[in-house]
Amino acid sequence: MTDPFAELMFRLRKDAGRTQEEQAEAINAASGEETVTRREILRYEKFENVPTNRTLAHIAVASGFPFEELLREAKAARARRKKRSGPEEEDQDAVKRRTLLGSAAIGVSAVSEPWGRLACALSKGSRIDASAAAALIDRAADLHVQELNLSARRLQSTVESHLDAITVALPHAGEYERALTVAAGETAALAGWVAWDLGEYDRADAYYDVTTECAEKAGHPPLRALALTYASYGAATPNKKLELLCQASQDVRGHGNATAAAWILGRQAEEAAAVGDETGALRALDQARFAYDFADHTSEQAWVRFVTPYRMDSLALSVYGQLRRSELTETADTAVDRLGDELPDGGVVVLGDLASALLRGGDVDQGVYVSRQFTAASQTKPNTMGRERAAKIAARLPDSERELALHLRQFAS
C-alpha cells in the first residue's frame, strides 16, 4: 500500500469480510448497475485510480462508511496523485462538478452537500428490491428515535450517511419511489434539526427546504409539517413560530395524523404560553391531548415515534410552568411517576421542562433539585432538546447556584 486512501479501500473491504470480486458486487448492488469490476477494486487498493464521487457514494452504502468522510479522503488522495503525476492527469474533481448519481449536470457546491445530491436524485427513476427499500425506510424511522439519546454531533454523520444511502437508491426506486421519497424527507428534516442544534442555521434551512420538496414530490403534506415544526424552534420571533406551527397544523388534518397533530398542537400551546396567550395555550394543549388519545404509532408517519407520553408530559409542563398554572403540581407528579426509576428515552426533556417550570413557578428548592437530576441525566443521554433546556434552566437558577448554572451553560454551548 502506497497511500492512505488505498489502505482505506483495502480496510473497508476486509472489514466487510469480502473478496475483491464480492466488494465489486456489493458496490454494484448499491448502484443498481454493473459498472465496477474486481479489477477496478484492485486498482483502488493499489492507488492506481481514485473512484469518482458517484462511485464513492455507492462504496459508502456498500461499506456502511460515512460518505462525507470518504469524500474528504478521496479529495486528499486526488491532490496527492495530481502532485505526483503532474497536470496531465485528469482532475477527478472535474467529474464531481459534472456528474451526480447519473450524469446530471450540477454545480460543485450542490454536489458537496447531502441536500444537493438528494434534490437531484428526486427527478430520477428505476428499480430496487422490496427488502432494500424496507431497510432504508425503517432506518429513517429509527433515527428519529435515536435522536432522543444521542448528541447532535454524534448523530449528524449517521443521519447524513443514511440520507446519502437513500439518495443513491432513489434513482432506482421504481414502485418504491414515493415511500423512499418520504423516508428521504424524514431523514433530511432530522438532518436539519441536528444542523440547527449545531448552530449551522443555513444548512438547517437547506435541509428543511429539501424536506418540503420531498413532501411535494410524494404528495405527502405531513412531511412538510415536520419541516415547519422543526423550523419553528429557530424562528426569529414568537409570532413567526406560531405562524409556522399554524401552517404545519393544516398539513396534519384528517385520519392517520393524530400523533403528528398532537405534537404540533402541543408546540402551539408552548408558543402561545410564551407570548402570554393563556386562553389559546390551554385550548391548544387540550386539543393536543385529545388528539394523542387517538394516536396509533403503528399506522402513522414513521417520525412520530419520538412523540411519546413523556414528550406530551414535557409539553404540558412547559405550558403550565410558563403560565404559572395550578395544574403544574399534579402534572409534575404524573410525569415523575411515569418516568419511574430508570430514565426512559425522552426523559431528559421531561426533567428539563419540570425543572424550568418549578423555577419559573417559584418553587426554587425543588427546582434546583430537579435541575441537578436533569444535569446528570443530560450527560448520560445528551440530545438537542436537552441542550435547549439547559440554557433556560441556567437563566432561572438563583445566584447561590452559580456553579450549577455555569455547568449548564457549558453544556448548552
Q: What is the torsion angle, in degrees rounded to the nearest 10, for the CA atoms of residue 384, residue 387, residue 388 and residue 392?
A: 160
The residues near 286 (Cβ < 8 Å, ≥ 6 apart) are none
How far is residue 317's CA from residue 351's CA, in Å, rounded to a whole number? Answer: 10
Beta strand extents in 289-359 (DSSP E only): none
pLDDT band at 163; cut points 50, 70, 90: confident
Q: Is residue 103 part of a domain?
A: no
> Which residues make Cβ contacts (< 8 Å) with residue 33, sequence separation at least 6?
none
For residue 50, the domain's CATH number is 1.10.260
Q: Identify whether 99 is part of a domain.
A: no
Count CA atoms closer than 13 A to 215's CA, side-chain side.
21
Among 165, 185, 162, 176, CA closest to 131:
176
Tell me: pLDDT of 131 over 80.
Answer: no
Same domain assignment for residues 302 and 317: no
Instruction: Judge if 133 and 43 occupy the same domain.
Output: no
Lowest mean pLDDT among 3-7, 39-43, 382-386: 382-386
**Higher-pLDDT residue of 63, 382:** 63
Note whether residue 102 is domain-resident.
no
**Residue-level pLDDT at 1:** 47
- Confidence band of 308 (pLDDT split at 50, 70, 90): confident
pLDDT for the residue numbered 109: 36
pLDDT confidence of residue 54: 81
In a domain, 104, yes or no: no
Please indicate whether residue 112 or residue 316 has the higher confidence score (pLDDT): 316
Which is more confidently placed, 371 or 241?
Answer: 241
pLDDT of 354 reads: 83
Least confident of 24-28, 219-223, 247-251, 289-293: 24-28
pLDDT of residue 138: 84
CA dist 189 and 209 (Å) reads: 9
Domain residue limits at 276: 221-306
Q: Is the dihedral of CA 207, 208, 213, 216 positive or negative?
A: positive
- Residue 92 pLDDT exceeds 60: no
Q: Which of 122-131, 160-169, 221-230 has the highest mean pLDDT?
A: 221-230
DSSP, res 253: -
Is 98 part of a structural domain of the chain? no
Range scoring the smallest mean pLDDT among 68-72, 191-195, 296-300, 378-382? 378-382
pLDDT at 385: 65
Report the number of distinct structural domains present in the chain: 4
- Examine the pLDDT at 51 and tell me if it is beyond 80: yes
Is 114's pLDDT higher than 60?
Answer: no
Residue 231 has pLDDT above 90, yes or no: yes
User: CA quadruple 351, 356, 358, 364: dihedral positive or negative?
Assistant: positive
Helix, strand, coil share of the chain (percent; to 5): 75, 0, 25
- 379 within domain boundaries: yes
Which of 174, 195, 219 represents a domain boundary (last residue)?
219
Per-residue DSSP letter, 89: S
35 falls in which pLDDT band (50, 70, 90)?
confident
Q: Please tell me the distance from the alpha carbon of residue 409 to that of residue 388, in angstroms, as a whole number.
A: 10
- Residues 206, 115 contacting (CB under 8 angstroms): yes
- Condensed to tens digits (0 to 9), the pLDDT of residues 181-225 reads 999 999 999 999 989 988 899 999 999 999 999 999 999 999 999
Distance (Å, whole) CA 351 – CA 400: 21
Report residue 301 as a C-alpha cell. 408517519
pLDDT of residue 347: 75
Among 109, 122, 116, 198, CA closest to 154: 198
On whether both 299 and 315 belong to a single domain, the answer is no
Q: Are residues 205 and 235 in the same domain?
A: no
Task: Compute the distance between CA of residue 127 and CA of residue 142 in angstroms, rounded to an integer.
Answer: 24
CB 218 within 8 A of CB 181: yes
Tell me, yes or no, whether 197 lies in a domain. yes
> Angle between the 67-85 and 53-63 helix axes, to the nearest 10 degrees?
140
Q: Kindly report the average pLDDT of the chain as a whole number.
A: 81
Residue 41 to residue 349: CA distance in whole angstroms: 47
- Say if residues 378 and 411 touch (Cβ distance below 8 Å): yes
| Residue 27 scores a pLDDT above 80 | yes
Choosing from 194, 219, 244, the residue where a domain stops is: 219
